[in-house]
Amino acid sequence: MDHSYWHKQTVDKPLYPDLLWSRPENRALAGKLVVVGGNAHGFSAAAEAYSSALKAGVGSVRVLLPDSLQATVGRVFETGEYAPSTPSGSFSQKALAEVLALANWGNGLLLAGDFGHNSETAILLESLLTKYSGQLTICGDALDYSVNKPQALLSRPSSLLVLDLTQLQKLATGAKFAKAFTSTMDFLKIIELLHDFTIDHNLNIVLKHLDNIFVAVAGQVSTTKVKPISMVNFATSCAVWWLQTPSKTFEALSTSVLGDD
């Protein structure tokens, strides 16, 4: 079977070494990332994304949290900005204007997670998918709002999903993909299905499974064996590389996998 779409990468042999030394050195040219996440009971994903974005070399980063966190978090996380929340402390529908305003300021938007489970937040995120057309990276429980009913997500022009196999299984089922991603699939089968899935659907996929990262863009798939890393840290690196090299999505995402190695 032809697997010419599969590109194997190692830390010692990057697929696109030119990207490693051609990144912008001037912060003014290094892109702007917006991070959204958190609820009254936690904001670690957003805070981690903020630190990870600076480490990854972004030019500017702004973080939007629900205002239920302002009284407590404002003293320890001074860079946070705030939007309306529900009585339970999650983002409310009224936060859409603030999210869109920041998204339009930035070159990319990262939904980092810790959104909790709230019906108003679900409405907010679905509205965001339809009203914002820029680069959108989604990870963590932000994906849980979309994978079962991914129609709005599938209609977007520029989405990156950083997920695990369980989330990918739900996404494929929700998208009515003809083939099933299963926990018993071998390495090559995952590659074949990611190839097919990203040809059928306009999504950029980064799958973290065991100790491998699979990047799939428009049928092209790269694989890299990596050290343990948190999903938020990893998704943030992907988002930064992508916004800095928007015309080379596959190359940028594949190179972002190498991290600090």
Write the DSSP string, 193-254. HHHHHHHHS--EEEEEETTEEEEEETTEEEEEE-----HHHHHHHHHHHHHHSTT-HHHHHH
In this predicted structure, what is the pLDDT of residue 1?
63
Banded pLDDT at 148 (limits 50, 70, 90): confident
Q: Is residue 261 very low, low, confident or very high in pLDDT (cuts 50, 70, 90)?
A: very low
Whole-model pTM: value is 0.95
CA distance 37 to 46: 5
Percent of the chain with pLDDT over 70: 98
- Report whether 193 contacts 185 (CB < 8 A): yes
Q: Please, what is the average pLDDT of the chain? A: 93
Reported as a single tens digit per residue, the pLDDT across 112-122 is 999 988 999 99
CA distance 21 to 5: 25
pLDDT digits (tens, 9 = 90+) for 5-17: 999 999 899 999 9
- In order of start, what are the domains of the chain with their CATH numbers? 6-16+29-256 (3.40.1190.20)
3-state DSSP assignment of residue 256: helix
Task: Summarize pLDDT for 25-44 with one digit per residue, the tens.
Answer: 778 788 999 999 999 998 99
pLDDT-based confidence at 79, cuts 50/70/90? confident
pLDDT at 72: 86
- Comparison of pLDDT for 171 and 22, the residue scoring more: 171
- CA dist., res. 156 & res. 17, Å (int): 30
Inform me whether the pLDDT recorded for 85 exceeds 70. Answer: yes
User: Residue 100 and residue 91: Cα distance in Å, rounded?
Assistant: 13
Q: Examine the pLDDT at 259 and tell me if it is beyond 80.
A: no
Whole-Å CA distances, 83 to 66, 121, 124, 138: 5, 12, 12, 19
Share of the chain above pLDDT 90, in %: 80
Residue 80 tokens, joined? 């946070």
Give 151-166 pLDDT, tens digit per residue.
999 999 999 999 999 9
Specify the pLDDT at position 260.
Answer: 54
pLDDT in tens, 221-237: 999 998 888 999 999 99
